[in-house]
Amino acid sequence: MVTINDNYRKLKAGYLFPEIGRRVNAFAEAHPEANIIRLGIGDVTEPLPEACRAAMIQAVEEMGSRDTFKGYGPEQGYLWLREKIAAHDFQARGCDIDASEIFISDGSKCDCGNILDIFGSNNTIAVTDPVYPVYVDTNVMAGHTGPVKDNGEYEGLIYLPISAENAFTAPIPTQKVDLIYLCFPNNPTGAVASRDHLKAWVDYALAHGSIILFDAAYEAFITDPNIPHSIYEIEGARNCAIEFRSFSKNAGFTGTRCALTVVPKSLKGKAADGSEVELHPLWNRRQSTKFNGVSYIVQKGAEAVYSEEGKAQTRALIDFYMENARIIREQLTAAGIQVYGGVNAPYVWVKTPNGLSSWDFFDKLLQVCNVVGTPGSGFGAAGEGYFRISAFNSRANVEAAMQRITEKFTA
């Protein structure tokens, strides 16, 4: 009989969002009359921007003619898309990032997990607590941790607790860590990192030869002009950071799939023989071997995000969701419930009322209000007593959900 990857057996129960889906489906089956509003998983609800749809339709037509048909594309993504991204997302913000350092992919979640392929198995790894579970689970799967402890933490990982006391920004570790996952705007707390905070991380990483894995999937939701959108806005970050970005949340591509990862050519790691090796060729090799690129049609849709119409339509989508976030924040606050985030991010991080545990509040909200959110403890032990509400839904659903919650719960 074949043997299995035993690391999978260390994983706690199911992945958070399918587990929530399972509970919600069980409730829906038992109560078919319930009008359930889902503010759990951060999945977009509004249609793709018109500019993206038009570009994709045009691309479909091109695929219908022998002269313009496309087979395999470059594994790294088409250069015309990478050049637009480099110019608009990075160079326009003063970041020294070249198109050749950008890799198009089918998702930041995939890339955050896949990136571990190019790193050794003996690195010290730090994550925040609470944290987007993908960073932890992919390290467990790769055998980078020991077993799970009673408090839900995995042996061998360094957890950096984030809470209201440190404005939900990770404290700089006192010990040396090799790989650090940072996510700003933060999923799940909706917090942002100031320039000074990111600079402290970059300085730390440069001093210790660490690599920061910077997840910027929500950068488009930043409203404060003083908050950096990219880690490369910080001097020196080219030498210590990989950045992940996505078209999922800003342009509604969760179902269409398009994202990007920046691996600067200046990044280096150490080989077993002690020599310094560039990371860019390793990721290029990994992608060329295991990935065949994102479809031409989808990349054409993503390129349209950078047209004048695309920019305006994407901005309108973001503003729409951020207005939802404002409604969530203000209504819960008026009901005396403590909330964080939701100003520069589409997530509102809620202190559960009446001292309820995260899962107790989840169950009550589902049963009493027929509203779904995400229990904070699902993001880590320090998320206990918190609850995440996503701003991704229709205005009518957000307003109805807030009315139901504030009628039943006051702190």
Tell me how far apart the alpha carbons of residues 93 and 219 are, in angstroms, rounded to a whole number. 13
187 binds ligand MLT (CB under 6 A): yes
Q: Measured from the CB atom, is 347 or 361 closer to ligand MLT? A: 347
Q: What are residue 165's phi and psi, to 5 degrees? A: -65, -35
Q: How far is the CB of 17 from ligand MLT (least distance, A)?
A: 6
Distances from the Cα of 81 to the Cαs of 51, 95, 112, 365, in angstroms?
A: 15, 17, 21, 43
Helix, coil or strand: residue 169: coil
Q: How far is the CB of 133 from ligand MLT (least distance, A)?
A: 8
Q: How far is the CB of 276 from ligand MLT (least distance, A)?
A: 33
Is residue 268 within a helix (H) or strand (E), and if so which, with residue range? Answer: strand 268-270
Q: How far is the CB of 241 from ligand MLT (least distance, A)?
A: 20
42 binds ligand MLT (CB under 6 A): yes
Q: Which of 272, 279, 299 is nearest to 104 (CA)?
A: 299
Of residues 84-123, those binding ligand MLT (CB under 6 A): 109
Q: How far is the CB of 281 from ligand MLT (least distance, A)?
A: 28
Q: Measured from the CB atom, is 182 or 240 closer to ligand MLT? A: 182
Q: Measured from the CB atom, is 42 or 383 closer to ligand MLT? A: 42
Q: How far is the CB of 92 from ligand MLT (least distance, A)?
A: 25
Interface residue with ligand MLT among 36, 41, 148, 172 (CB under 6 A) is 41
Kind of pairing between the strands at 386-390 and 374-375:
antiparallel
Q: How many residues belong to the chain?
A: 411
Q: Which among 38-46, 70-78, 93-101, 261-269 is the span making contact with ligand MLT, rule CB under 6 A?
A: 38-46
Tell me how far apart the alpha carbons of residues 372 and 2 are, in angstroms, rounded to a whole number. 40
Evaluate the omega torsion of the peptide bond into residue 281 and state whether it is cis, within 30 degrees of 0: no
Q: How far is the CB of 162 from ligand MLT (least distance, A)?
A: 16
Q: Which among 37-45, 159-167, 226-234, 335-343 is the span making contact with ligand MLT, rule CB under 6 A?
A: 37-45
Size of the site for ligand MLT (CB under 6 A): 5
Q: Which of 37, 38, 51 is nearest to 251 (CA)?
A: 51
Helix, coil or strand: residue 15: coil
Residue with tokens 């402290």: 200
Residue nearest to ligand MLT (CB): 42
38 binds ligand MLT (CB under 6 A): no
Q: Return residues touching ligand MLT (CB under 6 A).
A: 41-43, 109, 187
